[in-house]
Chains A and B, each alone.
Chain A
Amino acid sequence: MRVPKPRGALSQWLGARLTGTGTAGTAPAADSPEDEAIALWTLHELSYRGFEDADDRAEWDPEVLHVRHGLEVALEDRLRQRWADAAPADLPAEVPAALAALVDADDGPSLATYVRREADRDQVLELLRQRSVYHLKESDPSAFVVPRLPVRAKAALMELQYDEYGDGDPNRLHAHLFARGLEAVGLRPEYGAYVDDAITENLEMNNAGSLFGLHRRLRGAAMGHLAAFEMTSSIPSRKMVQGLERLEMGGPMAAYYDEHVEADAIHEQLAAHDICGTLAEDEPDQAADILFGAWTCLDVEARFATAVLRSWGVSPQ
């Protein structure tokens, strides 16, 4: 993958800095939320697979890290403010029950419901291009958290991640199944292929996951985020299968979602109880962040779904 196209002054500066083509000088302020989002996405990507045209040492370049820090502080403040404004007052004390209550209370619009009955082929292709930004690195943000967990949560996260990564079989690795699906519907399967098309809400959703995964301090939020993701996956995945089959887009892409109907029915139990539940018992100070991370996962998905549906002229409900 190459450094994404700039979307404003900051991402322009960053691209030049990473590829060594820019003039020296300090980073300008971002022009827009979109500029900010693509800049932070790019900075995080340096810790995943990087860019063929960027210097790999940029990941730990103090000046680049300084920019990343500023963007991360702004993102975390924004996410925490949203949570503070929306947090229900009467959540159960036990973390697994509180997670279930947050998921039950989620009233964000469902893209999968729309795909199941109404979306046309072009809309589904557009959605898959957007989703590819995450699914081609599926589970990678949570993998950063493994060494930061106490014994029980660590073992449980590995039990879950082992399944995400194909149970030892590269053919069954979830990100690879998604790449095969993209190819089968005529889209590009390469890692990062559609980042330049990603809308701001999608970038923010991905940035939130990376922020949580990359900071040890935010391990609770990362695991809450994972739990909410898994707890809202089986039923929507089934709707995606039905929508893809309705549009005669079955085959490998439907197989990717089909795998998630079954896998995530397991993963949600592991994530809520064995990971988040034991983490909160072993490190009680993480309980609040587990819920913050879970709610944020639901909220950024709702914002993304709302933006996508509006762009299609559908009123989100």
Chain B
Amino acid sequence: MRDRDFDHPEVVLCKDGPMLLRGATSVQDADGTVHPVQRPVVALCRCEKSSRLPWCDGTHKVIPKA
């Protein structure tokens, strides 16, 4: 029997969107500030346009796609 029947990666790159990260307890942003994590999954901004980096705030959706 397989160990795992389903893919359930800890890191998921969303198309034209954030990176989902599962199971983190803290995230350090680009300025070196460490943010505690209380959720099972967080969305990290990849477009750099979020108003609350390091988290995604949905702003990527209003950026014209390349």
Task: List chain A positions with a Cβ less than 8 A from chain B.
Answer: 151-152, 155, 159, 162-163, 167, 169, 172, 233-235, 238, 261-266, 268-270, 273
Contacts and interface: CB of A to CB of B under 8 A. Distances in A.
A270 B38 contact: no
Contacts of B2: none
A152 B52 contact: no
Contacts of A264: 58
A159 B58 contact: no
B10 to A, nearest CB: 12
8 contacts: A152-B6, A233-B58, A234-B58, A235-B58, A262-B43, A266-B39, A269-B12, A270-B20
Interface of chain A, main secondary structure = helix
B66 interface: no
Interface in B18-45: 18, 20, 38-43
Contacts of B52: 261-262
Contact of B40 (A163, A234, A262): A163
A22 B58 CA distance: 51
A262 B61 contact: no
B40 A265 contact: no
Given A234-B58, A238-B57, A269-B20, A159 B38 contact: no
A262 B6 contact: no
Contacts of B56: 234, 262, 265-266
Nearest to A235: B58
A172 B51 CA distance: 22
Nearest to B56: A265
A273 B41 CA distance: 14
B43 A266 contact: yes
Contacts of B58: 233-235, 238, 261, 264-265, 268
B20 A262 contact: no
Contacts of B39: 163, 167, 263, 266
Interface string B1-13: 0000010100010
A152 B56 CA distance: 24
A235 B40 contact: no
Contact of A269 (B18, B57, B59): B18
Given A238-B51, A238-B57, A262-B57, A172 B38 contact: yes
B58 to A, nearest CB: 3
Contacts of A233: 58
B42 A269 contact: no
Contacts of A155: 8
B61 A235 contact: yes
Given A235-B58, A261-B57, A265-B57, A167 B38 contact: yes
Contact of B43 (A151, A235, A265, A273): A265
Nearest to B60: A265
A280 to B, nearest CB: 16
